[in-house]
Structures are given as structure tokens and as C-alpha cells.
Amino acid sequence: MQREPLAIRSIQVISGLVLIVWLVLPLIPLAIWSFARGWRFPSLLPQAWSLKAWEYTLSDTAGVLDSLWLTIWIAVCATLLSILIGVPAGRALGMHKFRGKALVEMIILAPVIVPGIAVALGIHSVFIGLGLTNTVIGVVLVHLIPTLPYMTLVMAGIFANYDPAFEQQARSLGASPLRTFWHVTLPAIMPGIIVGGLFAFLVSWSQYVLTLLIGGGRVVTLPLLLFNFVSSGRNDITGAIAMIYILPGVLILILTARQLSGRSGAVGGFGRL
């Protein structure tokens, strides 16, 4: 394209700068609070700095670490189950045409769009009868509602670009179905499983209201703890937990930056984080 007039170029530069500032702005007070010791109105910066909030957060007595491990454990379980169930379903949707496919897609897509609270109340009253409320298993199960559709849709995209001729070639060379899957299919879809899995992990990692309802306040994951501290006005500890809480996302971003470009369709699930 032709070079823009100066006015348009300067508008671009200015709006770029505003965008950059706006995107990082909400994270700044959180980071500052985690190192603050007393930060009363109207000081622009804390009167004193300290590591107290971090010491507390990382101590054994505060329960933050327990909560961290619990959150990781739940997210890992939900992710693995989603992979186990979502990969076959993704294969069916990505590689096959069949009657009722649009309906199946809609069924799988529905939980991505319908808010969790709309179904969580009903699930809760069923889980009471099954003894699954206030348990980790119950929370893992309910986390499947957002993670499984997500994993399935990512895998459907992967399988849509996968050529089944490789499998037929392997079979004609004498490989059993199981060996074909292990040596041909799995290596081909592995990058998709890893990326989809990491994002499914993040989806579970970010759940709040499903954990709150089904866990009944007994299964205290990191976001529940974060909510408690923000409600009780402990801004310094809130800041520290928030920093810990966004860490996996940053790590996963660095690992998979190329996959997040939006073209992969993987982004779809992030609206719900």
C-alpha cells in the first residue's frame, strides 16, 4: 500500500501506545501491591517495600501452596480426561461426514457458549444425591464441561488437516490397527494434543463459579483463595497470589506463542477464561 499521510501515521502510533499501556495497566497495581508495605491513599507508590506478602504466600501455614497443588492436580486430571475423550470425538468430527453431524457439533459447542452458572445449579442438586459435592472428583467432573468441548474442537481442526492415507499406507505395509495408531497417528497429532492440552489446562485453571458451587467452598482452588483475599481487603497477599495465578498462562504462552495466532481455532476457548 501507499505510504499513509502523516496525520494517519501519527494516529496509528498514538493509538498503538495507548493500547500497549492499557493492556498492561491492570496488572501493574497487582504487582506493586505484592511488594508493598502500607500503601495508603493518596500515595502514588507504597510508603515502604517488603517481601512480607510473598513470605506469607509461600509459607506452609498460609495454605496457598496447598491450594496451588490442588489447582494443578484438578487441572491436570480434567485435561487428561479431556484428551482421552476429546481426541476420538475430534477424529470423528474432523475426518468423517455423517448424518446429524451438525447436531453433534451443536451439542459439543453448546457448553462453550452457555454460561456455567446456567447448568451448574442443576448439576449441584444431582451431585448432592451422588455424594459428589464438596469433593475433588466432583470438581474435576464439572470442569470437563468447559474443557472437553474445547479439546474436541481443537482436535477436530487437527484431524481435518490430517491425511488418513498415512494410516492406510501403514496398514498395507502390515501394521496392526494398534501399532498404526501408536506409530503413525499419534506422532502426527501429538503437536495438536500438546497445544490443545495446554489450553484445556488453562481453561480448567481459570474456572471459578463451577468450583465454587460444586466444591461448596471445601475444594479451595487458587481463584477461590484469591477471591477470599480480595474480599477481605488484603491487597498485598491478593497481589502475590494473582502473580502466581497468572504464571502458568505466561509459561504456556511462551511455549506455544505461535499457536495463539487465532488462525488455529485454538483461541475459541479463551473467551471463557
Residues of span 95-114 touching another protein by CB under 8 A: 96, 98, 104, 106-114
Considering only 71, 133, 204, 238, the residue that binds another protein (CB under 8 A) is 238
> What is the maximal distance between C-alpha atoms in the chain?
76
Considering only 70, 75, 83, 149, the residue that binds another protein (CB under 8 A) is 149
Considering only 51, 55, 69, 121, the residue that binds another protein (CB under 8 A) is 121
Residue 193-232 contact track with another protein, rule CB under 8 A, x = bound: ---------x--xx-xx--xx---------x--xx--x--
> What is the footprint of another protein within residues 1-20 (CB under 8 A)?
1-3, 12-13, 15-17, 19-20
Sign of CA dihedral 247, 250, 254, 257: positive
Q: How far apart are CA 220 and CA 135, in angstroms?
A: 10
Kind of pairing between the strands at 48-49 and 36-37: antiparallel
Shortest Å distance, C-beta 260 to another protein: 5
Q: Is 181 in the site for another protein (CB under 8 A)?
A: no
Shortest Å distance, C-beta 270 to another protein: 5
Residues 130-157 as b/e (b if ≥16 CB within 10 A, e otherwise) read eebbebbebbbbbbbbbbbbbbbbbbbb
Residue 43 near residue 28 (C-beta atoms within 8 A): no
Considering only 6, 48, 61, 125, the residue that binds another protein (CB under 8 A) is 125
Q: Is the Cβ of residue 8 or residue 60 nearer to another protein in the bound state? A: 8
Q: Is the Cβ of residue 61 or residue 97 nearer to another protein in the bound state? A: 97
Q: How far apart are CA 21 and CA 32, in angstroms?
A: 16
Considering only 78, 145, 189, 193, the residue that binds another protein (CB under 8 A) is 145
> What is the footprint of another protein within residues 72-91 (CB under 8 A)?
84-86, 88-89, 91
The region that residue 262 occupies, defined by phi over 0 for left and psi between -120 and 50 for alpha, beta otherwise, is left
Rg (Cα) of the chain, in Å, rounded? 23
